[in-house]
Amino acid sequence: MKIDRLISIIMLLLERKQISATKLAEMFEVSPRTIFRDVETISLAGIPIVAYPGVNGGISIMEEYKIEKKLFTVSDITSLLIGLGSIHSTMTGEEVLNTMAKIKGLVPADQIKDIELKSKQITVDHTPWIGNLDPNVNLEKIRTALSKNNLISFKYSAQNGIKCERKIEPYRLVLKSLSWYLQGFCTTRNDFRTFKLSRISSLKLLEETFIPREFDYKALEISNNIEKKIIQIKLLIDESIIDSIIEFCGVENIKPHGNNKFIVSFPFTEDDFSYSMILRLGDKCECLEPENVRLEIIRRVENLLNIYKKSTIQK
């Protein structure tokens, strides 16, 4: 929003001796022309702006107008920038950039380089290595609904394959394991529900508004609503895939078995995702127990084999 950008520019100019329009344009991801219009708006509001031409020139506020700000320590500001950087890796929009600019505006010019360096020493990146596991195209609509208390409607494909239409009062967005979840009060079920954004389609922001209900946010924790029971299964794996397995169960759950083989105590949920993860390991992994999981893997392998046999015969 323009007003947020204007406030951010003012805070930067209050702290810095001067800064170029090009630098401001890069910082807020707009054109230099937009920055010049913003500066004109600030000047018309009564804040004395001075522009210095030339290579080393820039924009500044008259020194007599500036105030000293020492609200945060260097450590405080570094922590804030790290946290905001992790949010910016998952959500688009100007708000996060503007907030980061405001915080940087609290830093004396002689310390800004040191703080930027320290804030980059830790990076929290929620984006997947390959592809886009959870499209965020609906995030902005949902955020608008959250801020203005608008109801939203959408089509939803449940985990069991059943499709339905829902209208909900949105209350919270949750990012968990690279996936976004929406939590809200479903007018169809007359209760609070959790929805995975990747299963939502045809989302509409409705003009109808609602009065927020009082409820316990802890009751909506993702672990209490969508996570299935985790069991420990025993795997016999080849040494070549040990690095991949460590990510899921840790070194302490992997024991040598001889002949370049290892026994693994592996956390497992009995759903399609977990079974497909084991099957992806191919002949480098064998489930030893429990028997029901082992038999289910055999059944899935046989079904897959039958599909390929049928397609070969038809050709």
Question: Nearest to residue 151, comparing CAs of 99, 209, 97?
Answer: 209
236 and 163 part of one domain: no
Tell me whether residue 126 is in a domain: no
Phi and psi torsions of 144, nearest 5°: -65, -45
- Residue 12 and residue 59 in contact, taking contact as beta carbons nearer than 8 Å: no
103 and 161 part of one domain: no
Tell me whether residue 205 is in a domain: yes
Per-residue pLDDT of the chain (315 residues; tens, 9 = 90+): 466 777 778 777 777 777 888 888 888 888 888 888 888 887 877 778 887 777 777 888 776 655 444 445 666 666 666 666 655 555 555 666 666 666 666 666 666 677 667 666 666 665 554 454 444 567 878 888 988 999 999 999 876 678 899 999 999 888 776 678 899 999 988 999 889 888 888 999 999 999 988 877 676 666 544 456 788 999 999 999 888 888 788 888 999 998 889 999 998 888 888 898 899 899 999 999 999 999 999 999 999 888 888 766 665
Output the pLDDT for position 198: 83
70 and 25 part of one domain: yes
How many folded domains does the chain comprise?
Answer: 3
193 and 275 part of one domain: no
Tell me whether residue 44 is in a domain: yes
Beta bridge partners of 234: 265, 289
* Domain boundaries, position 106: 2-119
Which of 119, 154, 171 is the endpoint of a domain? 119
169 and 113 part of one domain: no
Tell me whether residue 77 is in a domain: yes
218 and 160 part of one domain: yes
Which of 203, 225, 247 is the endpoint of a domain? 225
Tell me whether residue 29 is in a domain: yes
Dump pLDDT digits (tens) for 205-243.
999 999 988 877 676 666 544 456 788 999 999 999 888
CB atoms inside a 10 Å sphere around CB 168: 23
241 and 309 part of one domain: yes
What is the spatial order of strands in the sheet that 200-209 belongs to? 191-196, 179-186, 163-176, 150-157, 200-209
Euclidean distance between CA atoms 89 and 139, whole angstroms:
13
Which of 225, 245, 274 is the endpoint of a domain? 225
Tell me whether residue 72 is in a domain: yes
pTM, full prediction = 0.49
Tell me whether residue 124 is in a domain: no
212 and 237 part of one domain: no
Euclidean distance between CA atoms 22 and 12, whole angstroms:
14
Question: Which CATH number goes with the domain that contains 282?
Answer: 3.30.70
Question: Which CATH number goes with the domain that contains 160?
Answer: 2.30.30
253 and 214 part of one domain: no
Dump pLDDT digits (tens) for 120-170.
666 666 555 445 444 456 787 888 898 899 999 999 987 667 889 999 999
Question: Which CATH number goes with the domain that contains 34?
Answer: 1.10.10.10
Tell me whether residue 129 is in a domain: no
Question: Nearest to residue 244, comparing CAs of 204, 207, 285, 215?
Answer: 285
